[in-house]
Each structure stands twice: as structure tokens, then as C-alpha cells.
């Protein structure tokens, strides 16, 4: 049994020690983010999703990670400034962590072990190969902007490929189902 997600020690991007306990009872979309990635414009859609659904109980949580082609080299302060000035991000951001490898953060160990396969990762996996990048094997995170959906009771109920954007019908349907919104 993996560790309870709500008990894993984390640090906000401002440097405050915390856990996900403060988000208990909400639907969480946990995303590993990066500032210098071809997928970085997803920040805009993630912020829109957050604004559209946060009153219904959705929290988008961004975890900067520098695991893929060093596309998140900045300090927490630089990342926070970039997200604020470039994309007007208001959803919670956390201190930079590692999402794969020997120094993988316990949060990501728990997420990936709970949900080893991602919806829609085949095409993105092939795209990485076409760029000469050997993709990670499951259950490892494939790339920046992979998304994990966590239910109100802390269960990992979905995982979505990095190139599934915030308004993709598969993601929206899964979020709405967890929020209890009629289709």
C-alpha cells in the first residue's frame, strides 16, 4: 500500500512546509510542470481549468521538475515569477522536485505506483522517439505536463499523457465525474 497522499511532506514554491492535507475533500489535478518545454503553453489552459472549476472543488497543483532535457532549470523564485508574469498562474505551485529516477519525490512514487498507465500516452511516446528521445517505461512519468487526477478521498483515479491538454474531452469528463458534475 502506498503512502497516504495527504501525509507526504511537501514544500510550497514560497518555501513553506506543508502536505496535501489542506486539499483533502477536493479533486486534485497534479501536474509536473516546466518553463522551457514545448508544452509550457499548457499553463494557460491549466489556469483556465482552475478558474472554471475551482468553485466546484477542483485544485490544480503544479510541481516544477527538471527531469526532462533540463527544461526547468530555474530556482523556485524564478519559476514563480515566470508563471506569474508569463501565464498569470494563480493555482498552487510547489518547490521543484524530481519526478523520476533515484531521487524521485515520494509524492510521485505514490502517484505512479497507484496509476502505472497513462491515458493517451502512445502518440506522445512515439513523438519522443521521433525526436531521438528514448521514452521512460511505465510506471515512470513520460515527460513534463503529465497529469494525475486524485479523487476527493485521496485515491489516484486517472493519469493522462503530457500532450492531453486541459480541455481534452477525456480529461474534462474524468474531472467532471469526480466533481459530481452532470455530463
Catalytic residue IDs: 37
Handedness of CA 15, 18, 19, 20 (dihedral sign): negative
Q: What is the DSSP string of 103-148?
A: T--HHHHHHHHHS-S-BTHHHHHHHHHHTT--PPPTTS--STT-EE
Nearest to 71 by CA among 162, 180, 178, 176: 162
Copy the grid coordinates of residue 126. 512515439
Copy the grid coordinates of residue 50. 482552475
Bridge partners of 93, per DSSP, are 62
Nearest to 97 by CA among 75, 70, 64: 64
Amino acid at each position: 500500500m502506498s503512502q497516504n497522499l495527504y501525509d507526504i511532506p511537501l514544500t510550497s514554491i514560497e518555501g513553506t512546509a506543508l502536505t496535501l492535507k489542506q486539499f483533502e475533500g477536493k479533486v486534485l489535478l497534479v501536474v509536473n510542470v516546466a518553463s522551457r518545454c514545448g508544452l509550457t503553453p499548457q499553463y494557460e489552459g491549466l489556469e483556465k481549468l482552475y478558474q472554471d472549476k475551482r468553485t466546484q472543488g477542483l485544485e490544480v497543483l503544479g510541481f516544477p521538475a527538471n527531469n526532462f532535457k533540463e527544461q526547468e532549470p530555474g530556482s523556485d523564485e524564478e519559476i514563480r515569477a515566470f508563471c506569474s508574469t508569463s501565464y498569470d498562474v494563480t493555482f498552487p505551485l510547489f518547490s521543484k522536485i524530481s519526478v523520476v529516477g533515484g531521487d524521485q519525490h515520494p509524492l510521485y512514487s505514490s502517484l505512479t505506483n497507484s496509476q502505472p498507465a497513462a491515458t493517451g500516452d502512445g502518440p506522445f511516446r512515439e513523438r519522443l522517439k521521433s525526436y531521438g528521445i528514448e521514452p521512460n517505461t511505465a510506471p515512470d512519468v513520460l515527460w513534463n505536463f503529465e497529469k494525475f487526477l486524485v479523487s476527493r478521498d485521496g485515491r489516484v483515479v486517472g493519469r493522462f499523457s503530457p500532450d492531453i491538454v486541459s480541455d481534452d474531452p477525456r480529461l474534462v469528463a474524468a474531472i467532471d465525474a469526480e466533481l459530481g458534475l452532470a455530463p
